[in-house]
């Protein structure tokens, strides 16, 4: 577990050091009671966080050997209960090791830091304006303020609309909507009070955002490269779906990235987008020709070559992909 600036990462390590003795149990307990005790103790160890359904279900499945109904009815003595509790904790710890949970406490602090430093805010506003001005017109509609807030996201202290419906009221309060076009300076002037109001509301009532974080390293791709059968199936599927034979490998990777051990490509995740851009931009002319291979054998060779590049890069620089729970 690590903690920094209101952000806590639970990766399961803490759970492996918890004392799992149950001195309070003087008599036997049913499996149903034991599950309640287990979930409560895990929650305490996770700073009071309620156990997400996928973690809870994984732990129940392991501790009950897949027979939840009979397990809940079974009576356990103190020693048996302690052993089962250990299995429950191990199951949660293993799941967290594979997919850590990130808990972000949004209390307005990060936004106030941006607003209090003129240079930081100017840089933030400029970057947002540049990213949103895709046509390079030097103008953005007022309505783009909403997109700017989404673009900032939890990482910069702005909660998603689903968790913070008052965001709509704040945007409307400052007339940050409509088709009126603004230059960069005007855009920054409008963004500033919107962020200030969001920070004030969060200061009064902080919001806790829980996210799953998948860590993608080269080990996933290494396993896939050793699965010749799976790679052949994906190659054949792509050849059937794509008729022109151009850019087959790139198409396969983008469409089936998760199956290949790659993080899903998303423009909202700059680290992931940069990973794909780096790999594809490294291809020299000869490799680009190979990527347009017309036979299964050439296609397979090209795919393995590019996946190896992904593997090497991810091995030195893992990337993270987060999804809200």
Burial class, 162, CB count within 10 angstroms (exposed 0-12 / middle 13-18 / buried 19+): exposed
Instruction: List the domain boundaries for the chain.
Output: 7-105, 108-205, 217-322
Q: Calculate the alpha carbon distances from 288 to 234, 250, 285 in Å.
A: 20, 10, 5
Q: Calculate the alpha carbon distances from 37 to 5, 22, 80, 170 in Å.
A: 31, 10, 14, 42
Count CA atoms within 13 Å of residue 172 on its CB side.
Answer: 5
Predicted local distance difference test score (pLDDT) of residue 290: 47
End-to-end CA gap in the chain:
18
Backbone torsions φ then ψ of 194, nearest 5 degrees: -65, -45
Tokens standing for residue 180: 């009126």
Predicted local distance difference test score (pLDDT) of residue 119: 93
pLDDT tens-digit map of 150-176: 889 888 899 988 889 999 999 999 999
Predicted local distance difference test score (pLDDT) of residue 180: 93
d(CA 302, CA 223): 17
CATH 1.10.150 at 108-205, yes or no: no
Could you say which DSSP state residue 163 is in? Answer: G
For residues 9 and 2, is the Cβ–Cβ distance under 8 A?
Answer: yes
Please report the beta strands in the chain, taking only residues with DSSP state E, as ranges in sequence order: 2-4, 7-10, 29-30, 75-76, 101-106, 140-141, 181-182, 207-216, 319-324
d(CA 144, CA 188): 12
Predicted local distance difference test score (pLDDT) of residue 231: 87
d(CA 47, CA 6): 13
CA 159 to the chain's CA centroid: 15
Return the number of other C-beta atoms located less than 10 Å from residue 106's C-beta: 24
Predicted local distance difference test score (pLDDT) of residue 116: 94
Model confidence, pTM: 0.64
Predicted local distance difference test score (pLDDT) of residue 2: 47
pLDDT tens-digit map of 253-279: 888 888 888 887 765 677 788 888 888
Predicted local distance difference test score (pLDDT) of residue 297: 80
Could you say which DSSP state residue 319 is in? Answer: E
Segments in the chain below pLDDT 70? 1-7, 19, 21-26, 242-247, 266-268, 282-294, 322-325
Tokens standing for residue 168: 């709509």
Predicted local distance difference test score (pLDDT) of residue 64: 94
Predicted local distance difference test score (pLDDT) of residue 268: 63
């Amino acid at each position: 577990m690590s903690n920094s600036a209101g952000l806590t990462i639970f990766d399961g390590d803490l759970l492996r050091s918890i004392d799992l003795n149950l001195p309070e149990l003087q008599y036997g307990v049913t499996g149903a009671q034991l599950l309640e005790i287990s979930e409560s103790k895990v929650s305490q160890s996770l700073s009071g966080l309620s156990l997400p359904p996928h973690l809870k279900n994984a732990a129940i499945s392991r501790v009950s050997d897949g027979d939840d109904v009979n397990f809940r009815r079974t009576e356990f003595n103190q020693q048996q209960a302690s052993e089962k509790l250990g299995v429950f904790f191990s199951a949660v710890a293993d799941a967290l090791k594979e997919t850590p949970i990130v808990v972000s406490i949004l209390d307005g602090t990060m936004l106030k830091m941006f607003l209090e430093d003129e240079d930081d805010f100017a840089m933030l506003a400029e970057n947002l304006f540049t990213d949103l001005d895709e046509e390079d017109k030097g103008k953005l509609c007022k309505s783009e303020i909403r997109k700017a807030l989404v673009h900032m996201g939890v990482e910069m202290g702005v909660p998603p609309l689903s968790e913070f419906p008052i965001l709509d009221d704040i945007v409307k309060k400052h007339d940050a909507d409509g088709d009126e076009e603004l230059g960069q300076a005007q855009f920054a002037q409008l963004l500033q009070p919107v962020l200030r109001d969001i920070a004030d509301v969060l200061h009064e009532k902080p919001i806790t955002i829980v996210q799953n974080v998948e860590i993608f390293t080269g080990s996933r791709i290494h396993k896939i490269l050793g699965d010749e059968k799976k790679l052949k199936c994906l190659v054949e599927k792509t050849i059937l779906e794509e008729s022109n034979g151009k850019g087959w490998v790139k198409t396969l990777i983008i469409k089936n990235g998760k199956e290949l051990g790659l993080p899903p490509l998303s423009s909202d995740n700059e680290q992931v987008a940069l990973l794909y851009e780096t790999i594809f931009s490294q291809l020299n002319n000869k490799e680009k020709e190979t990527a347009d291979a017309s036979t299964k054998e050439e296609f397979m060779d090209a795919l393995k070559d590019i996946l190896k590049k992904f593997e090497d890069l991810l091995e030195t620089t893992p990337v993270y992909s987060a999804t809200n729970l």
